[in-house]
Structure formats: structure tokens, C-alpha cells
């Protein structure tokens, strides 16, 4: 799976986004260590705070299917700019993959890459509870 392919899956996943309130559609594609990909989209709710982001949909789909080893995630938004994950998504992803490769994808398909530990320095993780 190339970065380009993963980015394209994230762009496609936006088609299922349910966004009657923000109209900001986000798609995510989470690549597992074995090559399996789980996609997600944002799903909004009339009780706005109950909205879930695309990245967390992809993550909980994967974990609920028994996948916990992740290599990369691509995130595609609807704006002109690159779509980086929000703080809650960074925290949730960090639980399983602090070194995750993150691809922020723009509408035109261009993307930028970073590692999750660069996006969430000094993270609070499982080790903090030992
Ligand atoms: N959103 C995501 O899906 N992922 C992010 O990382 C940032 C925000 C969604 C949530 C909401 O449906 C819309 O984008 C506007 O905030």
C-alpha cells in the first residue's frame, strides 16, 4: 500500500460522511501492520458533541475487529488546506500507535506526512498509569 493509495482511500471515504451541520466531510484510511485497511468518515449528530471524527471511526472499526498494530493513517478533509487530526483523534491513535505515520491529505490529493509523536509531544499514554 503506497501513500498515494492510502490517501486515495481517505478521499473516497469522505463520500459516506454524514455532515448535515458542518458540511465538512472528512475521510480516513487506517493501514494495519498486516496491510489491512479500515476506512472511516465523520458522523455528526443533532447533539453536536456526540459527533465522531473520521479517524476515530476508522480506529474503533479496526480495534473492534481485533486489529491493534497500525502503520499509517491518511486523513482527507474538504478544505483547501491539509487536514491534520484533531486533538482527541491524536490522543486515541496514540494509545495504540505513538509512532504512527500520519498523512494529511488536501482535496486536490496532495499530502504532507508527519509522525504522531511529533503531532502529540509528551503524550499521556498507557505507561503513565503503571
Ligand atoms: N473532523 C474530523 O472528522 N476529523 C478531524 O480530525 C477534525 C474534525 C470532523 C468533525 C466534524 O464533523 C467536522 O469535521 C467539523 O469539525
Q: pLDDT tens across 77-87, in order?
A: 998 999 999 99
- Pocket test of ligand 1: the residue of 23, 43, 54 to mutate, having most ligand atoms within 8 Å of its CB, is 54
How confident is the model over 74-127, as pLDDT tens digits?
A: 999 998 999 999 999 999 999 999 999 999 999 999 999 999 999 999 999 999
Cβ pair 106, 80 in contact under 8 A: yes
Q: What is the pTM of this model?
A: 0.97
d(CA 17, CA 26): 7
Determine the average pLDDT of the residues in 58-63: 98
Determine the average pLDDT of the residues in 13-40: 98
> For the chain, how big is the Rg over CA atoms in Å?
14
pLDDT at 79: 86
Give me ligand 1 centre to Cα 20, in Å: 12
pLDDT at 109: 93
d(CA 103, CA 83): 9
Give me ligand 1 centre to Cα 46, in Å: 15
Indicate the average pLDDT of the chain.
97
pLDDT at 22: 97
55 part of the active site: yes
Amino acid at each position: 500500500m503506497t501513500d498515494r493509495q492510502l490517501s486515495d482511500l481517505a478521499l473516497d471515504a469522505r463520500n459516506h460522511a454524514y455532515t448535515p451541520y458542518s458540511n465538512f466531510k472528512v475521510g480516513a484510511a487506517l493501514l494495519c501492520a498486516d496491510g489491512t485497511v479500515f476506512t472511516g468518515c465523520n458522523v455528526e449528530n443533532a447533539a453536536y458533541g456526540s459527533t465522531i471524527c473520521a479517524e476515530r471511526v476508522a480506529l474503533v472499526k479496526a480495534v473492534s475487529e481485533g486489529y491493534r498494530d497500525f502503520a499509517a493513517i491518511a486523513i482527507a478533509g474538504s478544505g483547501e488546506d491539509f487536514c491534520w487530526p484533531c486533538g482527541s483523534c491524536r490522543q486515541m491513535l496514540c494509545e495504540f500507535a505513538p509512532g504512527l505515520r500520519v498523512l494529511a491529505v488536501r482535496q486536490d490529493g496532495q499530502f504532507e506526512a508527519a509522525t504522531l509523536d511529533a503531532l502529540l509531544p509528551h503524550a499521556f499514554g498507557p505507561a503513565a498509569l503503571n
